[in-house]
Amino acid sequence: MFTQKSTGVKTVLKILAASVLCIALCFVSACDESASFDVVIVGSGGAGLSAAVAAREAGASVLVLEKMPFAGGNTNYATGGLNASETSVQKAKGIADTNEQFYNDTMKGGKNVNRPELVRTLTEESAKTVDWLISHEMDLSDVGRLAGATNNRAHRPAGGAKVGPHFVQVMLAAAEKAGAKIHYNAKVTGLIEKDGKPAGVVVTSEGKTAKINAKAVVIASGGFGANPAIITSYKKELEGFGTTNHPGATGDAFEWVKPFNVGIVDMEQIQTHPTVVPVKNIMITEAVRGNGAVMVNRDGKRFEQELATRDVMSKAILAQTGKTAFLLFDQGVRESLKAIEGYAKQGLLTEGASLAELAGKLNVPADVLEAEIKRYNSFADAKKDADFGRADMPRKIENAPFYAVEVGPAVHHTMGGLAINNKAEVLTADGTVVPGLFAAGEVTGGVHGANRLGGNAMADIAVYGKIAGTNAAVYAKSK
């Protein structure tokens, strides 16, 4: 099993010089309450940045507070794509897809634990949200398929490049251009309560604490995937697992909302990602499998259909000798997905001029591996996987050189969190709205149910981030 470790953030995002000076406006003194905004957003990941842009477009003054020294959070790690249905991009490519099928796939993937009204909004608003992102110069021109999806709907930059860093770069620029103020190294420690409603936040930085007034607050602070104490309190069996999460994903918001009796849902629903490099905890995107890779064990045999959902594939890998497996693909798959070049530069790929050479390097029986890939290629020709029922086999594995990456499960996504409605309003434990409090992204629960489909986190942060920002602005302007 992996040791608990979180990889450092490596991103080309701009780390603003303002991160050193950003505190000046807000931390004049330990009790300064002069700073006031229509909307304060906690977190500058994909959901927070989407909310910031939307709130500014709705006419609100906006402050974004980020406890890390850079923007993006877990969105910086997102690779595979942003799921959306009936989009202009799909239609231009002749891809037939429907909101209803997207809804059905998401509910099935979440084992129907998802809140149907949240999934309806996610799917029905996805196409409009894609157009909105494109209007801000986001490249979502490549469309692929991730596990659990019936159709190609994972939107990403040209050539299958990583979607997350691009999303953050584009939306950070859009938020700044729109006039949102973004402060880094600013850790929110609580919400200000007034007449039973949130009236701002308490924030600490460089040893100073201040209160910032706000008419509406949007919590977009992310999940708790980097907090082993919370994880194991709900799932003891995940003790000792690694994590793909950035160090700031610690679930701070659950303490802030206690005075408001906020509902907390689905906390035990914690997802492991099946293809994570052991010890290094570097996630290999699901898109590699989606573009044609297979999974083999130490005997050189496939053991599950590669586009099974993450929970199914994680369980299958843990049942193999060594509790890891090999993700195997050829030059054709590599050339189909730009994201793979990043793995090559990180030295994660084992390469062989032939399958036999690759097998030798992996210490698996060459004759078995060669026979297994020959069998798989026959299935690809017949468009029917007679062994495991894989529905989509976009290409055969036949073009040298051949590559493999050893992978296994690590904690990836926390599906539980704050209860919200489809307006991104935070709800109390009895289901009533907390006036002026909104939330979006991984800090919320109910969208993904018992298992999140690849590509749906990006859809979630974009759709509900936009909704939260717009509605927070409307609420603030009414006060």
Active-site annotation, residues: 310
- What letter would DSSP give residue 285? P
Q: How far apart are CA 471 and CA 468, in angstroms?
A: 5
3-state secondary structure of 460: helix
Beta bridge partners of 182: 64
Helix (H, G, I), strand (E, B) or coil at 6: coil
Residues 327/289, Cβ–Cβ less than 8 Å = yes
Look at strands 325-330 and 294-296 and give their pairing: antiparallel
- Nearest CA to 354 out of 376, 331, 378 is that of 331
**CA atoms within a 13 Å half-sphere pointing along the CA-CB vector of 451:** 22
Q: Report DSSP letters for 417-454, one per residue.
A: EEEB-TT-EEEBTTS-EEEEEEE-STTEESSSTTSPPT
Alpha carbons within 13 A on the beta-carbon side of 345: 5
Beta-strand (E) ranges in 159-318? 181-183, 187-194, 197-205, 208-219, 264-265, 270-277, 282-283, 294-296
Gap between the Cα atoms of 277 and 294, Å rounded:
16
Ramachandran angles phi, psi of 93, nearest 5° = -95, 0
Which residues are CB-neighbours of 63 under 8 A, at least 6 positions away?
A: 26, 35, 37, 39, 40, 41, 180, 181, 182, 183, 212, 214
Q: Is the peptide bond before 401 cis (omega within 30 degrees of 0)?
A: yes
Helix-then-strand count for the chain, H and E: 16, 20
- 345's tokens: 């530069």
* Residue 272 near residue 311, CB atoms below 8 Å: yes
Per-residue burial over 277-304, b if 16 or more Cβ lie within 10 Å, else e, is: bbeebbbbbbbbbbbbbbbbbbebbbbb
